[in-house]
Amino acid sequence: MDTLLLARLQFATTTSIHFLFVVVTLGLVTLLVGLQTTWVLTDKPVYERLTRFWGQLYVINYVLGIATGVVMEFQFGLNWSGLSRYVGNVFGAPLAIETLVAFFLESTFLGMWIFGWHRLRRGVHLALLWGVALTAYASAFWIMVANSWLQNPVGHEVHDGVAHLTDFTALLTNPSLGMALGHVASAALLVGGMLMAAVSAWHLIRRTPDLALFRTSLRIGLITAALSITLVQGFGFAQFGPVGAVQPTKFGGGPAAEELIADWTARFGPGDYTPPVLASVGLGFMILIGLGLGLLWLLLPLLWRDWIIRLRFPLWLLLLALPLPFVAVILGWIAREVGRQPWVAYGLLPTEQAVSGVGPGVMLASLIGFSLLLGTLAVTNWVLLAKHAARGAYDPALGRRPTQPPADPRPEPAFA
């Protein structure tokens, strides 16, 4: 067994699972802000009920996702001590800001929002949710700042075998940051929109109570998903230029890549400095899924006079297409991270020098343990989401008055 391979498999597994929680969190919180803001402005009960229903699903995903993020922090010290030692002074700065500023604030705002129903004024309660959303995006920003530095190390100097931060502004203006951040944010919104549309479609197919309410959320989710896939495609294709300029080996050969490989060979010795084929495969399939989801625009005209509900088969299409954005974000992560290999910090720190000096048996046990833990959390998350989504939006627990007993749902007339 190869310790390096086991460490990489563990990081890939745990990061992939954690990333699924992240995109759901970012996507749903954005939609929640829109729903609750509309409720406060219009005072329509439908938007309060939608906020409570989707807010409950958001809270479930957020709470279980916290544990997966904690595992990510552990791995840097346990499995990648070489990374922490060599580039920790630079790489750790944005991670520390993310943890101390964004994450703690986000959790505080969310707790006050959860327990503030019917205790705070509407404007204050809404401001808390805006705070949750803004700090969630701030958290994503600082994570992407750290990741972009690994993709393109800038603003540092190496002294005595340790990288030191010399230009903090360079981290924020990294060419590999801007379009990648937009790509991730729009992908998260796509996931949130597809999740909202698919759950709503499921209720409309089953003709469950609150059909009018899920008709509204179907429209919101589908329109959000259609707009988001356009942004995803735009930010995605816009990355080829800046990424190709700072990582010539990621998208194939060429004079720039050959020159860079010759320089690495002289500095680090002979070796295979081309990324694994898995990166290209992941990129190709991600693009195919992205282009396929562009067909969501063809469903928008069916919203006229509720033809999308009357025909029924478009609802099945939305339900069956739900896994696609999740698969696409994992493939995108593979293309970005595997395409950087064999480097942890591109052109600066080889992956084999970053792994901790532990035996393969210990690393295998760690791989199995963390994979089982995060896998259990992921399964639990989706079971709970499915369970609470199936209950419908008639009277969710979130936002219910403490003295108010659960209400019994009353069927509504089905669509003709």
Instruction: Provide the strand spans (E) within 111-258.
Output: 156-159, 162-165
In 3D, which of 341, 334, 227, 338 has the Cα closest to residue 286? Answer: 334
* Closest CA relative to residue 378, chosen from 110, 103, 61: 61
Q: Distance (Å, rounded) from C-alpha 114 to C-alpha 162?
A: 44
pLDDT of residue 177: 94
Residue-wise pLDDT tens digits, 72-131:
777 777 888 888 888 888 988 888 888 877 778 899 999 999 999 989 999 999 999 999
Among all chains, which residue has been given the structure tokens 């339900």?
319
Confidence of residue 32 (pLDDT cuts 50, 70, 90): very high
Q: How far apart are CA 190 and CA 24, in angstroms?
A: 9
Measured between alpha carbons, how far is 145 from 38 in angstroms, rounded to an integer? 33
DSSP state letter for 355: S
Q: What is the DSSP letter of 101?
A: I
Nearest-5° Cα angle at 236, 191 to 240: 160
- CB proximity list for 382: less than 8 A, separation 6 or greater: none
The predicted pLDDT at position 407 comes to 54
Contacts of 43 (CB under 8 A, 6+ apart): none
> What's the pLDDT score for residue 405?
60
95 and 382 Cβ atoms separated by less than 8 Å: no
Chain segment 1-16, per-residue pLDDT in tens: 788 999 999 989 989 9
Across 253-357, the runs of DSSP E, i.e. the strands, are 343-345, 349-350
Question: What pLDDT score does 370 carry?
Answer: 87
> Within 13 Å and on the Cβ side, how many CA atoms surround 350?
13
Please indicate whether residue 411 or residue 321 has the higher confidence score (pLDDT).
321
Quote the pTM value. 0.92
Residue 415: which pLDDT band, with cuts at 50, 70 and 90? Answer: very low
Residue 404: pLDDT band with limits 50, 70, 90: low
DSSP state of 409: P
Length of the chain: 416
Q: Is the pLDDT reported for residue 195 higher than 80?
A: yes
At 16-29, the pLDDT tens digits run 999 999 999 999 99
Contacts of 328 (CB under 8 A, 6+ apart): 187, 286, 289, 290, 293
Instruction: Provide the pLDDT for residue 120.
Output: 92
* CA terminus-to-terminus distance, the chain: 62
- pLDDT grade for 205, boundaries at 50, 70 and 90: very high
Q: Is the pLDDT of residue 403 over 70?
A: no
User: What does the pLDDT look like over 279-304, one tens digit per residue?
Assistant: 999 999 999 999 999 999 999 999 99
By percentage, how much of the chain surpasses pLDDT 90?
Answer: 65
DSSP string for 1-16:
--HHHHHHHHHHHHHH
Q: Is 271 helix (H, G, I), strand (E, B) or coil?
A: coil
Compute the Cα dihedral for 339, 345, 350, 353 and give only its sign.
Answer: negative
- State the pLDDT at residue 153: 93
pLDDT confidence band for 366 (50 / 70 / 90):
confident
pLDDT exceeds cutoff 50 at 360? yes
Q: How high is the pLDDT of residue 209? A: 80
392: left (phi over 0), alpha (psi -120 to 50) or beta: left
As a whole number, mean pLDDT of residues 175-193 equals 95
**Taking the alpha carbons of 189, 325, 385, 371 in that order, is the dihedral positive or negative?**
negative
Mean pLDDT of the chain: 90
**Whether the predicted pLDDT of 413 surpasses 50:** no
User: Measuring CA to CA, how many Å separate 378 from each of 45, 64, 103, 353, 362?
Assistant: 33, 8, 20, 31, 24
